[in-house]
Amino acid sequence: MRWVVGGKAAQGCAASPSQMGRFETQWLATKVNLSSLTDLSGHWIDLVHSRRPPRGIVLDMDSSVSPTHGEQENSVWNGHYDCTCYHPLFVFNQFGDLEHCSLRRGNVHSADGWDSVLKPVVARYKCGVSRIYFRADAAFAMPGVYEFLEAERIKYAIRLPANQILQARIGYLLKRPVGRPPNEVRRFHANFTYQAGSWTKPRRVIAKVEWHPGELYPRVGFIVTNMSRPAERVVAFYNKRGTCEQWIKEGKGAIKWTRLSCRTFAANAVRLQLHVLAYNLGNFLRTLATPEPIKDWSLTSLKDKLIKIGAKVVSHGRYVAFQMAEVAIPRQMFEDILRLIAELRPQPPPAPA
């Protein structure tokens, strides 16, 4: 790592674990530094988009659980997850980059503080892209969320909790079809306008009814949306929200961002943001600098087969050679990865004529 960093780091002394701990829990935990650290992921993503400009952005918002096993500040029992935990909130884009996140008390609602997490991301993209889309589960089915997205002209698809009025609107689809049940899933869609008591205006709602073989009752789901595309396409668009849950699992498994063992809440918030930066670096490597054969690798595979492999450092008078072990990554693939990384560097200005 010292040779990768370069400069004085190659020959100098590294900071001790106690020095790094004080830097994390004292200096970075101040309000100003934590705010800057939280915004750093967005700055990195903007640099990536300057090299890979997107035509539109799809934002997925979801909460997760970070179990705790000590007396961490604001670590509270959560009955839904059946553990003492923190309850962080995340916003991802369609490339898997983590745009913004916030560490929260363990007993808050899944959508608590959504505006402080989502609004900074929307503000960054407001003038940079032509289209912004938003997806979320039923925890974010709130009038405040709808009104903010509509005011910003953002297209959304949000899961809507079922109730008797919605069930009655699709009663004709809830009757078991006549005839012998087939071996495949039978899927039906409905489209109607609905206004809840807390809403200021009616909105479009899409219902999906699935009859699965061997099941007596259908699986029913509702989605509230302001999109004009057909119902089947709206449902297909919403279903891709599942990749957000997969990215959260990668953060837990590969990056270990649930290891929040500091005593104070601010120090654990710093640790989460540092893990988020590590996650984004790994995702940048996967999306920008990996050849086609390993393009679909998970972060765990990249970490175990590309990053954490054996190597021998041979130091000569004018250069240093890294003799890498060809365990899972052959020599040619190493060369392709280094070439892709080199192509990400800004090109020097042309020499004057």
Q: What is the DSSP secondary-structure string of 14-65?
A: PPPHHHHHHIIIIITTSHHHHHHHHHHHHHHHHHHHHHS--SEEEEEEEE--
Residue 216 confidence (pLDDT) above 90: no
Expressed in angstroms, the distance from the first to the final Cα of the chain is 40
**What pLDDT does residue 97 have?**
96
Quote the pLDDT of residue 1: 65
pLDDT band at 346 (very low <50, low <70, confident <90, very high): confident
- The Cα–Cα gap between 343 and 98 comes to 23
Domains of the chain: which residue ranges? 25-137+241-288, 299-343
Residue among 164, 227, 161, 219 at smallest CA distance from 191: 227
pLDDT beyond 70 at 2: no
What is the pLDDT at residue 312? Answer: 86
- pLDDT confidence band for 10 (50 / 70 / 90): low
pLDDT tens digits for 243-275?
999 999 999 999 999 999 999 999 999 999 999
CA distance 209 to 189: 6
Neighbours of 111 (CB within 10 A): 20
DSSP 347: P
Q: What is the mean pLDDT of the segment spanning 292-306?
A: 91
Q: Are 267 and 24 in contact (CB under 8 A)?
A: yes
Residue 102 amino acid letter:
S
Q: Provide the pLDDT for residue 147.
A: 97
- The torsion angles phi and psi of 331, rounded to 5 degrees, stand at -60, -45
Q: How do residues 65-100 score in pLDDT, each as one tens digit?
A: 999 998 899 999 999 999 999 999 999 999 999 999
pLDDT bin (cut points 50, 70, 90) of residue 19 is confident
- What is the predicted pLDDT for the residue at 8? 67
Provide, rounded to the nearest whole percent, the portion of the chain with pLDDT above 90.
69
* CA 9/CA 42 separation, integer angstroms: 28
Neighbours of 70 (CB within 10 A): 10
CA-CA distances (angstroms) from residue 278 to 112, 121, 272, 350?
A: 25, 19, 10, 34
**What mean pLDDT comes out for the span 183-210?**
94
The percent of residues above 70 in pLDDT, for the chain, comes to 96
- The beta-carbon contacts of 344-352 under 8 Å, at least 24 apart in sequence, are 344/51, 344/288, 344/289
pLDDT at position 9 is: 65
Mean pLDDT to the nearest integer, 201-208: 96
Mean pLDDT of the chain: 91
pLDDT tens digit sequence for 235-246 = 999 999 989 999
Q: Per-residue pLDDT tens for 39-62? A: 999 999 999 998 888 989 999 999
3-state secondary structure 155-218: EEEEEECCCHHHHHHCHHHCCCCCCCCCCCCEEEEEEEEECCCCCCCCEEEEEEEEECCCCCCC
Q: How far apart are CA 116 and CA 127, in angstroms?
A: 19
